[in-house]
Amino acid sequence: MTDDELAAWKARKDAGRARAYEAEVKTATLLRDHPEAIDGFRVFCARMGGFYSIRNCMRIYGQNPNVAHVQPRRFWGGYGFNREVTDPNAAIWIVAPKVERTFTKEVKNERTGQTEEVEDSYKVWPIEDIYPSAATAPKGGPCVFCNGPEGEPCPDSCPVRQPQSGPPPTREDVAEAVADVLKKLGGFDASVLTTLGPDPMRDGYGDPYETPGVRWGTISVTTGATNRSGKPRKRSYRFLHTVDLDRPGVRYAIAGLGVIWISPYELRNDTGNGHAAVTIQYGDDVPAADRHWDSRFHKEGPHAPVLNGITFAGTSLVYPHEERWRWFSPNRAGYGEVTEGAAEKMGQILRQLLPHYRGLVEFDAIEEAGFRKRAARRAREADHEAKRLAEREQELAEQRADAEQRAADHRHQAANPNEL
C-alpha cells in the first residue's frame, strides 16, 4: 500500500467512525425524546439476528433505519453467502469488539544507557463497514435461494433480503445503552419505562418472544489446511431448508455450495422410524429433456453442489443410524465417482444436515408421506403383477383348452381306426 493509498484508507476509516458515532447519538436522542419508540427499536435489534450489540444496532439504525439484513463484506463474500458487494457506497459503519494486544518492545534505559525489553499493550475499538443485502449480488452462479441471476441484486422476496429471526433485548438493556451514549449530553431517565405498559415481547414467565423472520442454519467443513496456530481451518456455510410433502423431502439451499435434497428412501419396507435409509440428491431435479439414456451418466441439475472443483450429481443412499456406515459412493457429473477428499467433505456436511433433518417438527409428516408414496408405488407394482398373472392365466387356460381338445381328438382316433 502506497503512502497515498494508506492516507486514503485512514481518511475513509476516520469518516466512517465519525458517521457511526453521529448515528449512535442520533438514535439515542430519538429514543430519549420518544421513549414509546423503544419497543420498535427492540424489534429492529432482534431482526439483526443477534449479530450486533445494542449500540451497534443504534449505529445501524441511525444510518439506515429500513435495512433488513447486514453483514461484513468478507462474510457476504466467502464465509457465509458467496455474494459480492455491488454498491460500496451503501456501507454502514459500526464499531467492532475491542481488541487488546500485548507485545514486547526494546526501550533504552536512560539511567543505565542499556537497551531493555519491556512489555507494553494497547486497546482499540476497530471501525468496520458492513453492507445491506440489497447492495449485494450472487457470484459464481444464480442465487440458490431465489434463483436470481449472477451479478444482479436479488428481488425483495429473496430470503437474503428478509429480516432475520431473533430475541429482542430488554427495555432495561436499551435504556442502559441510551444512558451510556448520552451520559455527556444529559443522560437518560430510565423511570419512563414504567409508562410504557406491559412488555409485548415477553411472555408471562419473562422469556422473550422471537421476532418473525428468516432463521439461518450454519454448517462447517474442515478443509485440511491449518492456520497460524496449527489448528485446522474451517469453512462455514449458511443454509435454509424447505419442506416438500408432495415429493416428499427437504431441500437444503446452501450458500456457496449448492442444493442438497434429503428424502425417505422409496424402496424401503418400514413404516418410517427415522433409522432407515434416506436418499441424498445433489442439486435440483434434472429437466426431463436433459436426462441421459445411460444410467451410468449423471447429468447435473440446477444448483448442483461443487466441492474441490468437482460437481456432484445424481443420488446416493445413506443409512444415518449406523455409526460406521460405509461411504455411499457419491457420483460426479458425467461418469464416475468423486474423489476421496471431496467425498469426505461432503460427508462432513451430511453429518450435520441429517440430524437437522431428523429434528424437524415436520419429520413425522415427511416419514408418513414417504410411507404413503411407497405404499402407492407397491400398489402399482402389485397391480402390474396381478395383470401379468391374469394374462398368464388366460394364456394357460387357452393352452389347457387346446391340450384337452387334442386329447379328445386322439381318443376318438384310437377308438375309430377306420376313420384314419
281: pLDDT strictly greater than 60: yes
Strand, helix or coil for residue 129: strand
pLDDT of residue 253: 96
- The grid coordinates listed for 198 are 406491559
Q: How many residues does the chain have?
A: 420
The fraction of the chain above a pLDDT of 70, given in percent, is: 90
pLDDT of amino acid 82: 85
Q: Which residue has the higher pLDDT, 240 or 100?
A: 240
In this predicted structure, the answer to whether residue 325 has a pLDDT above a threshold of 60 is: no
C-alpha cell at 124: 482499540
Which is more confidently placed, 324 or 382? 382
Residue-wise pLDDT tens digits, 336-351: 888 888 888 998 999 9
Residue 335, pLDDT above cutoff 80: yes
State yes or no: pLDDT of 198 exceeds 50.
yes
Q: Which residues lie below 8 Å from residue 235, measured CB to CB, with a gap of 6+?
A: 78, 79, 220, 221, 223
pLDDT at 79: 62
Q: Average pLDDT for residues 215-228, to the nearest whole number?
A: 80
- At 318, is the secondary structure helix, strand, or coil? strand
pLDDT digits (tens, 9 = 90+) for 126-138: 789 999 999 999 9
Confidence of residue 178 (pLDDT cuts 50, 70, 90): very high
Q: What's the pLDDT at 36? A: 94
Residue 420: its pLDDT value, please?
Answer: 63
Q: What's residue 106's pLDDT?
A: 72
Q: Mean pLDDT, to the nearest integer, of 31-55?
A: 93
| Beta strands per DSSP E along 110-199 | 115-124, 127-132, 136-138
For position 126, what pLDDT does the model report?
79
pLDDT tens profile 58-115: 999 999 999 989 999 888 986 678 899 999 999 999 998 655 556 566 777 777 777 7
Q: What cell numbers appear for 379 in the block? A: 400398489
pLDDT at 176 over 90: yes
- Give the pLDDT score at 382: 82
Q: Which helix (H) or strand (E) holds 171?
A: helix 171-181
Whether residue 122 has pLDDT greater than 50:
no
- Whole-number Å distance between alpha carbons of 137 and 134: 8
Lowest mean pLDDT among 44-53, 207-216, 396-405: 207-216
Task: Identify whether the C-beta of residue 203 lies closer than 8 Å to the C-beta of residue 79.
Answer: no
Phi, psi of 123 (to 5 degrees): -130, 140
